[in-house]
Amino acid sequence: MYSLLIEGGRPLEGEVTISGAKNAVLPLMAAALLTREPCVIRRVPALSDVAFMVRILTAVGAKVRSQGDTVSIEANRIRGFCDYDLVRKMRGSVCLLGPLLGRLGQAKVSLPGGCVIGTRPIDLHLKGLRALGAKIQVDSGYVCAQTRRLKGSAMFLGGRAGPTVLGTANVMMAATLAEGVTVIQSAACEPEIVDLAEFLNGMGAQITGAGSPTITITGVKELHGAEHEAIPDRIEAATFAIAAACSRGEVTLRGARPEHLHAVLDKLEEAGARLDRTGGNLTVKGGRRLRPVDVTTQPYAGFPTDAQAQMMVLMTQASGISIITERIFETRFMHVSELARLGADITIEGPSAVVKGPSVLSGAPVMASDLRASAALVIASLVAQGRTHVKRIYHLDRGYERIDDKLRRLGARIQRLSDS
């Protein structure tokens, strides 16, 4: 197991290349199961979650080859069973349910694992697949689904906290091989859904409306192989943008798509950061005096819950009181106690965190609880006085490609330590 030792106090300066989006790549890899023909996916980040997905695809019978940031998948002969020992480690593995059901007419997939940041049930996934005609039972920790033939249907996939991203992806993938027309109302609008739809259409699917609340899928008899390049990771871009502002540095994000980051960039400018979008890149420069802003997490295109913890760190450096409200995951404030160890003044009041700044942060041992909390602790460590030891960074390696190397190139004093 690894940890990071970070000595704070240096502004981040330079350029960083944004990797492919983990939350796009995992469904793209699962979608390759919908055809017997080879599929090629480019800009695949080197992440532990991606490595787990490779193992899962191999376990169901697909042939997977990786070369650099390119992954080739050939699913000529596959089986519809995903074992607990693999699936339990990664929530994104649930997106195999739709492709296996669409391709084989049956699937047995273990209930998923991943970060502990809320209940995140898959009831909307099952609701959508049942609407397509699947018979589904949950037994002994497995979702068992079968059907003679999926049939298109109209359905509503809105939930308590808004649309379901992986649920939309699951239903969309299954519906590509269903008989007739499927209409998903209250579909997730995230860029990752648009990216998946473009890949599926490249395979011969007929999908319209992706990126809007209504997606229409006209089923086809079969799909063929395709090549596709994943979109850049908007959450990694947001993390580096916030880190640049928090450290009062200047960082150019190469490959980032500002159109995927409107809510984050709007709040950064409101807080006093300066942005430059010229030349096809995005440059973020921290202001000398940061202003407090209020943030409420929402489904896309609102402020992303996956950037909430990082934004909270920025607000510890602002002069005044900020209120950050979490509307997506009910327990996503587990990073607050660790930030308090560094000297942050944060009080939790129901679904909101009240942040009083500016706080002088001081290095201390801290422990990461989930992927984005890990990123927040790293940002806090960069601005803290002295050394901070961030433990349990396996969470970071799930979603950030070589983050310590990237930060080091920007001038951060950061070491990866082996705790074994």
Active site residue 82: no
Count CB atoms within 10 A of the CB of residue 116.
11
Query: Could you tell me whether strands 387-391 and 2-7 are parallel, antiparallel, or unpaired per DSSP bridges?
Result: antiparallel
C-alpha separations of 324 from 268, 274, 293, 339, 359 in Å: 14, 22, 8, 15, 16
Close Cβ partners of 59 (under 8 Å, ≥ 6 residues apart): 82, 83, 86
How far is Cα 195 from Cα 182, in angstroms, rounded to an integer?
19
**Side-chain-side CA neighbours of residue 256 (13 Å):** 30
Contact 177, 148 (CB under 8 A): no
How far is Cα 319 from Cα 362, in angstroms, rounded to an integer?
18
Residue type, 69: D
Rounded to 5 degrees, φ, ψ at 123 are -60, -35
Catalytic one among 82, 95, 115, 246? Answer: 115
Angle between helices 234-246 and 371-383 (to 10 degrees): 20
What residues are annotated to the active site?
115
